[in-house]
Structure formats: C-alpha cells, structure tokens
Amino acid sequence: MKTFIIALTIAIAMFTAVAEAKTTKYGNWRFVEETDKLTGQREAYIWADATVKDSRYSYKEPSMGIKCDALYFLDLDVLNDGNLNFRVDTMAKPKRQPGYRYEGHQGIEVSISNTKRFWSKYSKHFKRMIAGNKIIVRFNSWGRDGQTIEVPLNGFTQAITSLASACSI
C-alpha cells in the first residue's frame, strides 16, 4: 500500500508540472506563452474578458482570444451555428464571419493563417482593432437570436504585437 501511495504521488507530480506559463497583462488583454515541459512545444495566445456579457446564465464569463491559428470566443450560451457578426467601433457596418462551434457548442473559432507572412503584416490584418476602443460581437444562441458581448480593446495593440512576435517564429 505504501508503494502505491508513493507511485501515485509521483504520477500526480509529473502530470501537474507539464507546462510552464508566462502571462503578461496589457490593459484588459493578457498575453500568455506556454511551454510544454515534456515536448518543448510552445503555444502563445492573447485573451480578454467581455465587459458586456448578455448571457442567459449568471455563471457564464464570455471572453475573446486570438492564438497563432485562430480567433475564438469562449463561454457563450449554447449556439445554433458558427456564424458571428462583429463590429469594431471604428467600423460603419458590422461584418458577418463564418466560424465553427466547439466546446460543447459554447464557443466559436474562426481560422486565421498561421504563417510568417500573415504575422509579419499583423498590423494590417488587425488595423481596426488596433485603432478601436471596443469590439461588439453577436451570436445566434439556442432559443434566441442575438447574444451580444462587448470586449474592450484597451491594451490590444501591445498584446497583438507580442503575439505576432511569438507566432512569427
């Protein structure tokens, strides 16, 4: 029994120390770099919590994030489809963007190009978000249309610059 407890303790210690994460906060945005201790593989992403949440459920905390290969929204109400409409406050009209659902239909991901060329021109791809103050996004939720969240863009420029540097490697 003593050997079993020691083996279990070692196994738990191995699995809890698999990744190291470094987080830097820029305004409302966080830049995270994780390194898998076992494989050495790196992952980088940025994210921010929504300030206007419009959820049917009080425990939901919607957020928006960008990683090297996708833009995503998490912790939404259960979604009908993967489409979203978004508008940065510097845009005259909203833009419809197809994506796909995941996280048990409570998240949407929109693929982006994960190439050095894409990330070398990141300021062109994200120019409206860099110039804006907030992004407003609407989703089609199960049982109702129009779940709307609002994500502040304070600190976005520094966060996307850090992500572009990490994704360009």
Q: What is the CATH number of the domain that holds 113?
A: 2.60.40.1880
Residue 6 has φ and ψ, to the nearest 5°, of -65, -45
Report strand pairing: 79-88 vs 70-74.
unpaired
User: Domain for residue 150, yes or no?
Assistant: yes
User: Domain for residue 26, yes or no?
Assistant: yes
pLDDT at 13 exceeding the cut of 50 = no
How far is CA 137 from its chain centroid? 14
User: Domain for residue 46, yes or no?
Assistant: yes
Counted domains in the chain: 1
Q: Residue 128's pLDDT is what? A: 94
- Residue pLDDT, tens place only, 125-144: 999 999 999 999 988 877 66
pLDDT at 103 exceeding the cut of 70 = no
**Structural domain boundaries enclosing 155:** 19-167
Q: Residue 160's pLDDT is what? A: 97
pLDDT class of 56 with cuts at 50, 70, 90: low
| Spatial contact of 68 and 167, defined as CB atoms under 8 Å apart | yes
Task: Give the DSSP letter string of the chain.
Answer: -HHHHHHHHHHHHHHHTSEEEEEEEETTEEEEEEEETTT--EEEEEEEE-SB---SSTT---EEEEETTEEEEESPSPEEEEEEEEEETT-SS-EEEE-EEETTTTEEEEE---SHHHHHTHHHHTHHHHH-SEEEEEEEETTEEEEEEEEE-TTHHHHHHHHHHHHT-
User: Domain for residue 102, yes or no?
Assistant: yes
- Residue pLDDT, tens place only, 15-31: 555 667 899 999 999 99
Q: Residue 8's pLDDT is what? A: 45
